[in-house]
């Protein structure tokens, strides 16, 4: 049996899921319209209607995030291999895509399950949404077909389109695959964002057939959610690929195989962490749009019953920052020359730990009556000052700067700049870090002396200072290290097992975090299917408590991780690759040099 014939089962499963989804999109709305006349809600054994929808939607979105995020950096990695000199990038891109091929089947199947659950358990709601968005649903199915066809052409045409102009055509197929996937995501985002922020002219007595499609799609939170999910999908895809590399590294039996998957894990971690650095900025934009659309919804999200959800989020994001930095610090042990930067890591760790502590400090403490009397109220006289956004914005921006500094040290570890202005450039970089940190701290402190509406605007200045610093420092570093001397080849594969566990922690934590943030976005609608337009009158209308929500999210995460473990196992069976030692592929011109050429990292 050839490797190509062995992977035919994902193709069959993928088209099977696609057929189910197409049948659901065409036949189910008609069934739902008939069912809605008889009942508004259905029931599901054990978990109820909402529980069934929750699980189906969450697992589907986790797989969808994976199959949308992986193509973005698979194409990027392939382009580096085409325009660079290290052909291992092409092999890496194909291995990424092989995982995508298998996961795509599960995405389609869970999407079909979600469609059938919505139509049978929430028929009235499904009828309302399909009446408004039926044209976009038809387009969605068509794009889904083109996306699946392009995916299979992209993967199975890898060998026949591997040389010359044909390789450029193959890269174009990858770009087209990303365009289809992004369009599919944008359409689906319009449905969920409409539920949260319907246009102001839509009211409870507005007939759904009179609502114009574009006005419903281009609602207040549509574009912020698009951008936020696009970045989050890249982070998620990178973390899952890093986990796959960690799994294969721990199971490897040869040094060559360990070297390959060590390198693969580094690339996945680099993409995940670099995208994570800009993800909070997209979250700020989304939060601001929610406040501008409906201040009551924003207060419910940040200062109401969901405020403690953000404490959980702070701990999880703290784990992401700490695990990502830890992986870089452990990885520096296999880089000649990195030992000169080791003393700095303790100071970076101190900033990160203090940032996590500030970010996870609640504004209102959970305390008994006696404890509240001792504090003089529900706010701690000292810690209460750390529970407001001025402190938290300051903490997260300093954590982002510190993580970028870790990456910069890793990047420069085995390089000796050869340009004459290297020392001056390093001083400029240090000054930029100091100025940015000073701006972040200044506006964080100043925020305590102004009104809330002014304080919110200060976050823009903090974000801009961090972004300008990251971009300027990175450009200087790329220019400074051109033609740099190598202090020695990176010893790929010589990583302790605990470094791979850090990659697994990143994948699990981000999966859980994604489910938690999905609950935050949906939960602020409270007892409304569509905010202030269509009320939820089912037995499950109330927003669940954080304890119940955490259990449901954990169930979804366990289901997804169990299925993704099967994907990993199948990925190992699909094709037995041969691995060239990094030295054979040009150790002195290590893969990080190619990433730097493409705007990446050492």
Each residue's pLDDT tens digit, 57-72? 999 999 988 888 888 8
Last residue within a domain, chosen from 452, 469, 484: 484
Q: Which carries the bigger pLDDT value, residue 585 or residue 123? A: 123
In a domain, residue 556? The reply is: yes
CA distance 585 to 325: 28
Question: Taking the C-alpha atoms of 430, 434, 440 and 446 in order, what is their torsion angle to the nearest 10 degrees?
Answer: -170
Q: Nearest-5° angle of CA 592, CA 332, CA 336?
A: 80
- The parent domain of residue 573 ranges over 3-337+487-597
Cβ contact 560:62 at 8 Å: yes
**pLDDT tens digits for range 88-97:** 788 888 888 8
Phi (first) and psi of residue 374, to 5 degrees:
-65, -35
Q: What is the number of residues in the chain?
A: 602
Cβ contact 130:137 at 8 Å: yes
Together in a domain, 443 and 458: yes
Q: Which of 597, 596, 571, 579 is nearest to 263 (CA)?
A: 579
Together in a domain, 146 and 42: yes
Phi (first) and psi of residue 416, to 5 degrees:
-125, 105
CA distance 85 to 337: 24
Cβ contact 250:500 at 8 Å: yes
Q: Which of these ranges, 126-130, 545-549, 589-593, has the smallest mean pLDDT? A: 589-593
Mind giving me the DSSP string for 153-199?
HHHHTTTTT-SHHHHHHHHHHHHHHHHHHHHHHHHHHHHHHHHHS--
Q: Which of these ranges, 60-74, 341-355, 547-561, has the smallest mean pLDDT? A: 60-74
pLDDT of 401 = 92
In a domain, residue 177? The reply is: yes
pLDDT of 148 = 87
Q: Which of these ranges, 236-250, 303-317, 360-374, 489-503, has the smallest mean pLDDT? A: 360-374
Angle separating helix axes 88-121 and 222-251, nearest 10 degrees: 120
Task: Determine the average pLDDT of the residues in 312-332.
Answer: 89
CA distance 326 to 402: 12
- Our count of domains for the chain comes to 2
Together in a domain, 517 and 440: no
Q: Which of 31, 32, 21 is nearest to 125 (CA)?
A: 32
Q: Which carries the bigger pLDDT value, residue 230 or residue 20? A: 230
Q: Which residues pair with 528 in a beta bridge?
A: 535
Task: Determine the average pLDDT of the residues in 360-388.
Answer: 70
In a domain, residue 229? The reply is: yes
Task: Determine the average pLDDT of the residues in 104-130.
Answer: 90
Give the three-class secondary structure for 283: helix
Report the percentage of the chain scoring pLDDT > 70: 84
pLDDT of 13 = 41
CA distance 571 to 96: 10
Together in a domain, 462 and 396: yes
pLDDT of 194 = 93
Together in a domain, 126 and 106: yes
Q: b/e string for 394-429 if b means 16 or more Cβ within 10 A? A: bbbbbbbbbbbbbbbbbbbbbbebeeeebeebeeeb
**pLDDT tens digits for range 139-158:** 998 998 898 889 888 988 88
Q: Report the range out of 267-271, 476-480, 487-491 with the highest average pLDDT.
A: 476-480
Strands 415-416 and 528-530: unpaired
Together in a domain, 308 and 399: no
Q: Which of 320, 323, 386, 393 is nearest to 357 (CA)?
A: 386
pLDDT of 559 = 94
pLDDT of 575 = 53
pLDDT of 581 = 45
Token pair in block for residue 299: 């207060």
In a domain, residue 48? The reply is: yes
CA distance 481 to 278: 24
Q: Nearest-5° angle of CA 69, CA 146, CA 127?
A: 85
Last residue within a domain, chosen from 484, 504, 532: 484
**pLDDT tens digits for range 506-525:** 999 999 988 888 888 888 88
CA distance 282 to 292: 15
Together in a domain, 61 and 169: yes
Q: Which of these ranges, 15-19, 315-319, 329-333, has the smallest mean pLDDT? A: 15-19
- At which residue do the structure tokens 């004459």 appear? 420
Together in a domain, 212 and 76: yes
**pLDDT tens digits for range 274-302:** 888 788 788 878 888 888 888 888 777 77
In a domain, residue 163? The reply is: yes
DSSP-assigned letter for residue 208 = G
Mind giving me the DSSP string for 385-418?
GGGSHHHHHHHHHHHHHHHHHHHHHHHHTTEE--
pLDDT of 580 = 46
The sign of the dihedral angle between the CA atoms of 42, 47, 50, 53 is negative
Q: Which residues are CB-neighbours of 143 under 8 A, at least 6 positions away?
A: 180, 183, 184, 187
Distance spanning both ends of the chain, measured CA to CA: 39
Q: Which residues are CB-neighbours of 126 under 8 A, at least 6 positions away?
A: 28, 29, 32, 36, 118, 119
In a domain, residue 602? The reply is: no
Q: Which residues pair with 486 in a beta bridge?
A: 415
Residue 576 pLDDT level (bands cut at 50, 70, 90): low
Assess whether pLDDT exceeds 70 at residue 5. Answer: no
pLDDT of 10 = 39
pLDDT of 380 = 66
Together in a domain, 14 and 65: yes
Report the percentage of the chain scoring pLDDT > 90: 27
Together in a domain, 166 and 254: yes
Last residue within a domain, chosen from 484, 512, 532: 484
Token pair in block for residue 208: 């759904």
Cβ contact 316:393 at 8 Å: no
Give the three-class secondary structure for 39: coil
Q: Which of 338, 340, 383 is nearest to 359 (CA)?
A: 383
Together in a domain, 474 and 493: no
pLDDT of 53 = 92
Together in a domain, 332 and 364: no
In a domain, residue 502? The reply is: yes
């Amino acid at each position: 049996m050839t490797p190509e014939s062995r992977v035919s089962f994902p193709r069959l499963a993928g088209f099977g899921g696609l057929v189910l989804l197409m049948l659901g999109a065409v036949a189910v709305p008609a069934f739902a319209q008939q069912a809605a006349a008889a009942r508004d809600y259905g029931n599901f054994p054990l978990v109820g209607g909402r529980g069934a929808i929750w699980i189906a939607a969450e697992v589907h979105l986790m797989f969808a995030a994976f199959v949308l995020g992986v193509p973005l950096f698979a194409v990027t990695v392939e382009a580096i291999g085409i325009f660079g000199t290290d052909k291992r990038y092409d092999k890496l891109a194909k291995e990424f895509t092989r995982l995508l091929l298998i996961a795509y089947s599960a995405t389609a199947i869970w999407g079909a399950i979600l469609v059938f659950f919505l139509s049978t358990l929430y028929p009235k709601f499904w009828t309302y949404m399909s009446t408004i968005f039926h044209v976009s649903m038809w387009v969605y199915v068509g794009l889904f077909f083109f996306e699946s066809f392009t995916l299979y052409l992209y993967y199975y045409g890898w060998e026949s389109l591997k040389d010359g102009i044909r390789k450029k055509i193959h890269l174009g197929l990858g770009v087209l695959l990303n365009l289809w996937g992004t369009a599919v995501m944008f359409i689906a985002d319009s449905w969920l964002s409409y539920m949260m922020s319907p246009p102001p002219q839509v009211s409870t007595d507005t007939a759904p057939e009179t609502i114009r499609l574009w006005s419903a799609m281009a609602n207040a939170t549509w574009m912020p959610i698009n951008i936020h999910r696009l970045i989050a999908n890249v982070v998620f895809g990178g973390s899952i690929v890093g986990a796959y590399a960690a799994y294969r590294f721990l199971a490897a039996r040869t040094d060559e195989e360990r070297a390959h998957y060590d390198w693969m894990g580094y690339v996945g971690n680099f993409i995940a962490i670099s995208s994570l650095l800009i993800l909070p900025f997209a979250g700020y934009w989304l939060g601001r749009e929610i406040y501008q659309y409906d201040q009551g919804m924003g207060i419910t999200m940040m200062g109401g019953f969901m405020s403690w959800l953000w404490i959980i989020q702070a701990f999880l994001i703290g784990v992401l920052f700490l695990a990502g930095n830890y992986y870089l610090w452990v990885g520096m042990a296999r880089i000649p020359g990195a030992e000169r930067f080791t003393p700095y890591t303790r100071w970076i760790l101190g900033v990160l730990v203090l940032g996590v502590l500030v970010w996870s400090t609640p504004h209102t403490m959970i305390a008994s009556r006696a404890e509240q009397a001792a504090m003089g109220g529900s706010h701690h006289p000292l810690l209460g000052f750390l529970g407001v956004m001025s402190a938290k914005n300051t903490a997260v921006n300093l954590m982002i700067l510190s993580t970028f500094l870790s990456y910069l040290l890793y990047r420069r570890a085995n390089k000796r700049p050869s340009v004459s202005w290297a020392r001056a450039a390093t001083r400029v970089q240090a000054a930029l870090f100091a100025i940015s940190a000073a701006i972040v701290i200044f506006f964080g402190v100043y925020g305590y002396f102004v009104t809330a509406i002014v304080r919110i605007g200060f976050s823009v200045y903090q974000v801009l200072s961090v972004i300008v610093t990251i971009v300027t420092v990175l450009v200087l570093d790329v220019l400074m290290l051109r033609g740099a001397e190598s202090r020695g080849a990176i010893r790929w594969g010589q990583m302790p097992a605990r470094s791979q566990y850090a990659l697994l922690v990143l994948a699990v934590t981000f999966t859980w975090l994604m489910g938690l943030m999905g609950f935050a976005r949906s939960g602020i609608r409270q007892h409304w299917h569509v905010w202030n337009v269509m009320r939820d009158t089912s037995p499950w209308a109330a927003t669940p408590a954080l304890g119940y929500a955490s259990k449901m999210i954990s169930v979804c995460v366990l289901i997804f991780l169990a299925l993704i473990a099967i994907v990993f196992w199948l990925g190992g069976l699909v094709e037995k690759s041969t691995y060239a030692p990094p030295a054979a592929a040009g150790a002195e011109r290590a893969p990080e040099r190619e990433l730097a050429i493409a705007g990446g990292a050492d």
